[in-house]
Amino acid sequence: MFRKIYLLLGIFFMLGSVVMAEDLRINGKEVQQGQSINLFFDDLEAGKIKFSVSEDKLKKAEVTFDKGRNWIEMSAEDNTFNYGYRPLSDEIVIPEFILTSESGSIRTIRPNISVRYQRKKPDQAVDQLFEKMKTFYENEDINNFINLFSMSYPDRVKFREAIQNDFYNYKNMRLFYRVDQRIFDDDFQGAVCSVYWERKGDSRTGTGFSDSAIMSMRLDKEGNNWLISGLRNNTIFGSSLIGTTSSSTSQPDLTISSSDITVVKSLAATYSVLVTAKVSNIGSASVNNVRIKFYKKSPLDADYVDISDDQTIATISAGSYDTASITYRALAVLGGNHTFKIVIDPNNNIIESNKSNNSAISAVHDITP
DSSP 330: -
Q: Are 133 and 161 in contact (CB under 8 A)?
A: no
What was the pLDDT predicted at 256?
Answer: 94
Question: CATH code at 214?
Answer: 3.10.450.50
Task: Residue 345: name the closest of 290, 283, 306 by CA.
Answer: 290
Q: Is 25 helix (H, G, I), strand (E, B) or coil?
A: strand
Range of the domain at 351: 254-366
> What percent of the chain is modeled with pLDDT above 90?
35
Q: Is 360 a residue whose pLDDT tops 70?
A: yes
Which of these three, 182, 210, 242, is where a domain ends? 242
The tens digit of pLDDT for each residue in 170-193 reads 889 999 999 999 888 877 888 999
Query: Quick one: 204 and 106 in the same domain?
Result: no
Residue 37 lies in a domain: yes
Query: Quick one: 92 and 41 in the same domain?
Result: yes
The amino acid present at 44, given as its one-letter code, is L
The tens digit of pLDDT for each residue in 255-287 reads 999 989 998 887 565 678 889 999 999 887 888
According to the per-residue pLDDT averaged within each range, which of 13-22, 148-157, 344-353 is highest? 148-157
CB under 8 Å to 264, separation ≥6 — which residues? 273, 274, 276
Query: Quick one: 76 and 139 in the same domain?
Result: no
Task: Residue 350: name the closest of 253, 258, 284, 265 by CA.
Answer: 253
Query: Quick one: 127 and 113 in the same domain?
Result: no
Range of lowest pLDDT (78-87, 243-252, 343-352) = 243-252
**Number of domains observed in the structure of the chain:** 3
What was the pLDDT predicted at 2?
Answer: 37
Query: Quick one: 114 and 129 in the same domain?
Result: no
Task: Residue 342: name the closest of 321, 362, 366 by CA.
Answer: 362
What was the pLDDT predicted at 247?
Answer: 37
Backbone angles phi, psi at 133, to 5 degrees: -60, -45
Mean pLDDT, the chain, integer: 83
What was the pLDDT predicted at 245?
Answer: 36
Identify the residue with better confidence: 263 or 330: 263
Half-sphere exposure of 37 (CA within 13 A, CB side): 31
Task: Residue 153: name the closest of 351, 292, 311 by CA.
Answer: 351
User: How large is the average pLDDT for residues 51-79?
Assistant: 89
What was the pLDDT predicted at 130?
Answer: 96
Query: Quick one: 175 and 287 in the same domain?
Result: no
Query: Quick one: 237 and 126 in the same domain?
Result: yes
Which of these three, 190, 213, 242, is where a domain ends? 242
pLDDT bin (cut points 50, 70, 90) of residue 111 is confident
Identify the residue with better confidence: 17 or 187: 187
CA distance 60 to 81: 8
Residue-level length of the chain = 369
Which of these three, 86, 118, 150, is where a domain ends? 118
CA distance 9 to 84: 9
Query: Quick one: 228 and 259 in the same domain?
Result: no
β-pair partners for 99: 61, 107
CA distance 53 to 79: 9
What was the pLDDT predicted at 300?
Answer: 82
What was the pLDDT predicted at 18?
Answer: 34
According to the per-residue pLDDT averaged within each range, which of 115-124, 131-140, 244-253 is highest? 131-140
Task: Residue 273: name the closest of 338, 367, 193 by CA.
Answer: 367
What was the pLDDT predicted at 50?
Answer: 93
pLDDT bin (cut points 50, 70, 90) of residue 11 is very low
